[in-house]
Amino acid sequence: MRDTIQITSLAPNEALSPFIESFWIIKNDSNVDQELVILPDGCIDLYFFHSDEYPLISSLIGLKTHPRIGLMPACSILFVVRLKLLAAEYLLKDSVAEILDHWVYLENGFANINESDFFCFDTFYKKLNLHFLSHLTTHIDPRKKVMSERIYEAQGFISVSEISLTSHWNSRQINRYFNKWLGLPMKRYCDVIRFHSSFESLKAGKLFPEEGSYDQSHFIKLIKKYSHLTPKKLAQNKNDRFIQLSSTE
């Protein structure tokens, strides 16, 4: 990532780990606007944006199935909460199906975030952890917990029938859950997770994954489908615009 863009991430409180992947801060301290690309990664995102022109803009971004090009204005800060698949039901308590590949603005005051919180990432982090812990009032359905854990453990390399067997949940009900809460069937969601799991290998210059069940042609198709680039071009990351690749250690 360009020297002008700074990225820091933190893991959530352990009790929130089934629902939150991470908290991020992305800063552009320069006097020049920067173009960034957000790749599909299987997360629902909460954005809190601050700049001199816009002191606070809050938005909710649904799952992404295409790369999204955005602009990080000069001297701006973006706080991000990256939410996992169960967060729609258990934290947001609302479906994000209608904002697949789209977003909605939230009213200012969401989670009690205000302008002063942008001066300290730790304050933002603690406030959001407390907010979501207070909203975690329902026990997780054990079938959904197993489903979520298995998808992430397998990095998307798992079928609906396998999930059905291990979670003791009907395949039709599983797909109904994904369509209702996220806006796409489980297989398509797992494709995005597979794509996301390839980032570490691609950044290391490995153009074919060492794990998983893809042959080379299927892997190339997967990368092109969700990034619009070949694995080689994505791995080169020439213009340093790709947020998830740039943040992978």
- pLDDT of res. 83: 97
Q: Distance between CA 204 and CA 15 in Å, rounded?
A: 32
Question: What mean pLDDT, rounded, does the chain reach?
Answer: 89
Query: Beta partners for 6?
Result: 27
CATH (domain of 182): 1.10.10.60
Domain co-membership, 199 together with 98: no
- Cβ atoms of 42 and 65 within 8 Å: the answer is no
- Cβ atoms of 216 and 230 within 8 Å: the answer is no
SS3 of 90, please? helix
Q: Distance between CA 39 and CA 14 in Å, rounded?
A: 26
- pLDDT of res. 246: 55
How many Cβ atoms are within 10 Å of 96's Cβ, its own excluded?
A: 23
Torsion of CA 125, 48, 93, 182, to 10 degrees: -110
How many Cβ atoms are within 10 Å of 164's Cβ, its own excluded?
A: 19
Q: The pTM is what?
A: 0.91
Backbone torsions φ then ψ of 76, nearest 5 degrees = -130, 160
Domain co-membership, 130 together with 148: no
Q: Distance between CA 224 and CA 195 in Å, rounded?
A: 10
CATH (domain of 102): 2.60.40
Domain co-membership, 222 together with 122: no
Of the three residues 76, 108, 135, the one that is the final residue of a domain is: 135
Residues of the chain with pLDDT > 70: what percent? 91
* Pairing between β-strand 20-28 and β-strand 76-83 as defined by DSSP bridges: antiparallel
How many Cβ atoms are within 10 Å of 94's Cβ, its own excluded?
A: 11
- pLDDT of res. 248: 46
Which has the minimum average pLDDT: 99-113, 121-135, 177-191, 205-219?
205-219
- Cβ atoms of 67 and 38 within 8 Å: the answer is yes
Domain co-membership, 43 together with 118: yes
Domain extent for 235: 142-247
